[in-house]
Amino acid sequence: MVDLINKLGHESFFNAFADSPANLAFVEAQFKDADPALCDAFLESVDESAFSLSEWIDALRCLGHWLDAHGLAMELSDQVGYVCCASTAVDAGANLTHLPSLVSEMLEAYGCERAVKK
């Protein structure tokens, strides 16, 4: 998590999460011991997308809720990849422009093949 804060910069990090303690708690829990390479890949994906960091975290939380509801688990790197795939759907002409909604729509339509039973 410290790596993520350092890469974003303290001010940018706290501005991104000032209005959402739930998202901050999620980031702390998920990225606390994450591989620095995953943090880099995550931030690069956020930067290259049309969505904000907050939307990415909301989308990851949406995916996490879906996984829990279905008794499934998935590595954080695969979760980031799933959200990245959803974010690129906008470039391919998807109608939704809210990343968590895109993730929810994809999960409903296609599920998640990398998820495994808990």
Give the tens place of pLDDT for each residue, 48-70.
Answer: 998 989 999 999 999 999 999 99
Q: How crowded is residue 117: how many other Cβ atoms within 10 Å of its Cβ?
A: 7
Beta-bridge partner residues of 116: 73
For residues 16 and 52, the answer to whether their CB atoms sit within 8 Å is: yes
For the chain, what are the domain ranges? 36-117
Give the tens place of pLDDT for each residue, 85-116.
Answer: 999 886 656 566 789 999 999 999 999 999 99
- Within the chain, residue ranges assigned H as helices are 2-8, 10-17, 21-31, 36-48, 53-69, 76-89, 99-110
Look over the chain and give the mean of its residue pLDDT values, rounded to a whole number. 88
